[in-house]
Amino acid sequence: MGPGPSDVHPRVLRAMSTPLVGHLDPSFIDIMNEVQELMRYTFRTDNKWTIPVSGTGSASMEAAIGNLVEPGDTMLVPTNGYFGGRMESMAERAGGEVVHVDAPWGEPLDPADVQDAFDEHQPDVFGFVHAETSTGVKQPDVPELTSIAHDHDALVVADTVTSLGGVEFEVDDWGIDAAYSGPQKCLSCPPGASPLTLNDRAMDKVLSREEPTRSWYLDLSLLEGYWGDDRSYHHTAPITNVYAIREALRLVAEEGIEARWARHRRVAGALKAGVEAMGLGLNPEDDYWLPSLNAVLVPDGVDAGAAIDYVLEHYDLEIAGGLGALAGDIFRVGCMGHSARPENVSFLLTALGEALEAQGADVDPEAGFAAMREALNQ
Ligand SMILES: Cc1ncc(COP(=O)(O)O)c(C=O)c1O
């Protein structure tokens, strides 16, 4: 129940014990096709360029930014969380100039500020984080943000690491040009092969770059040879991770993406109702609450680190503390993928309630359970 990795589904673990075949074996090529089709389903896109990048979420992030930002380009990045900062580092390493759109940690971007930043800086690429794992904030108004960017002829890159497969995200309908994610959050799959999708407009830019991207490994114009029509060798795919993500995406399709979003809302909603009734607050306002990552305010007088250690030691349960501007102020409680189950919420309320009571905090776990049960029964 931390910020990821989430519990891996047993079917995914089982798929990972499948014997290896070669990365160009005809049976593996069928699996590649299936993974790409299931990934399109999960991203809600028809984008041809939809692939698992070898590596963790940061690899698909760097594949998106490193290929779309050319030396001399300007990229607009947010300052309202940890991962906007990582976008900035990657854009700079790609030779780009970085400009900012500001919002405090714990708040989403305001479209009016995005509009002002576009008018002032005319960026070529705009990056935003749909689900900020460091703050538990979901960025609302995404279609408004993308239309501002497109009015200024810029490409939009979305970080969906903590939302894909758990929180509604619509690549095509919302006008996203490139989106990247990670498998270890709402897809409940071990890290190692990370979803990425680009539309034709974005891929046209990649294929018409004046100089090649600085990373050979993540150069999408080369990876296209393997994941595109040719199926020719670029690097040895992480076969076992591809088996894993195929099974994880099959689970998404079996449940149905909309039903899966609804399950995350329902189960995390019960978690939210439970901690609130227990006497704790959530950091983000309800309008931008992120079901997959709940930022619970640490009550006055409580040492967050000691409470986190308590639940790990006594309940073998992982939750995390805040980062950056929110360090010490919030607990970060994940509710992702296979971990988003009512029994986990109940366990979390027991463990956290006890950890807080051990420090003399004024909390009411019984009221929390009652509210959780009511929310689950609604
Ligand atoms: C929002 C967000 N973006 C990017 C990443 C980077 O992913 P990884 O740690 O898998 O490289 C993470 C990881 O937690 C994340 O939460």
**Which one, of 168, 183, 329, 201, lies nearest residue 245 by Cα?**
183
State how far the alpha carbon of 1 is from the alpha carbons of 193, 237, 355, in Å. Answer: 22, 30, 15
Confidence of residue 205 (pLDDT cuts 50, 70, 90): very high
In the prediction, which pLDDT does 239 show? 98
Ligand 1 atom closest to the Cα of residue 134 is 16
List pocket residues of ligand 1, CB cut-off 6 Å. Answer: 4, 56-58, 61, 83, 129, 133, 159, 161-162, 182, 191
* pLDDT tens digits along 77-109: 999 999 999 999 999 999 999 999 999 999 999
In angstroms, what is the span from residue 65 Cα to ligand 1's centroid?
14
Of all protein residues, whose CA lies closest to atom 10 belonging to ligand 1?
A: 57
Residue in 60, 88, 133, 218 to alter for ligand 1 test, most ligand atoms within 8 A of Cβ:
133
In angstroms, what is the span from residue 58 Cα to ligand 1's centroid?
6
Q: For a pLDDT cut of 90, what percent of the chain falls above it?
A: 99
Asked whether 183 and 248 are in contact (CB, 8 A), the reply is yes
Cα 46 from Cα 68, distance rounded (Å): 20
Of all protein residues, whose CA lies closest to atom 7 belonging to ligand 1?
A: 57
Cα 272 from Cα 355, distance rounded (Å): 18
Q: What are the tokens at 276?
A: 């609130």
Tokens 């689900």 belong to residue: 131
In the prediction, which pLDDT does 325 show? 87
Ligand 1 atom closest to the Cα of residue 129 is 1
Cα 5 from Cα 153, distance rounded (Å): 36
* pLDDT tens digits along 5-19: 999 999 999 999 999
In the prediction, which pLDDT does 365 show? 95
Q: What is the pTM of this model?
A: 0.98
- Angle, CA of 206, 24 and 50, to the nearest 5°: 35
**Which one, of 137, 92, 113, lies nearest residue 325 by Cα?**
137
In angstroms, what is the span from residue 57 Cα to ligand 1's centroid?
5
In the prediction, which pLDDT does 378 show? 85
Tokens 């099959």 belong to residue: 250
Residue in 83, 89, 188 to alter for ligand 1 test, most ligand atoms within 8 A of Cβ:
83
* pLDDT tens digits along 280-335: 999 999 999 999 999 999 999 999 999 999 999 999 999 999 998 899 999 999 99
In angstroms, what is the span from residue 122 Cα to ligand 1's centroid?
27
In the prediction, which pLDDT does 323 show? 92
Cα 221 from Cα 334, distance rounded (Å): 36
In the prediction, which pLDDT does 299 show? 96
* pLDDT tens digits along 41-81: 999 999 999 999 999 999 999 999 999 999 999 999 999 99
Ligand 1 atom closest to the Cα of residue 191 is 10
N-terminal to C-terminal alpha carbon distance within the chain: 23
Q: For a pLDDT cut of 70, what percent of the chain falls above it?
A: 100
In angstroms, what is the span from residue 264 Cα to ligand 1's centroid?
19
* pLDDT tens digits along 234-258: 999 999 999 999 999 999 999 999 9
Cα 93 from Cα 44, distance rounded (Å): 30
Residue in 161, 167, 169, 323 to alter for ligand 1 test, most ligand atoms within 8 A of Cβ:
161
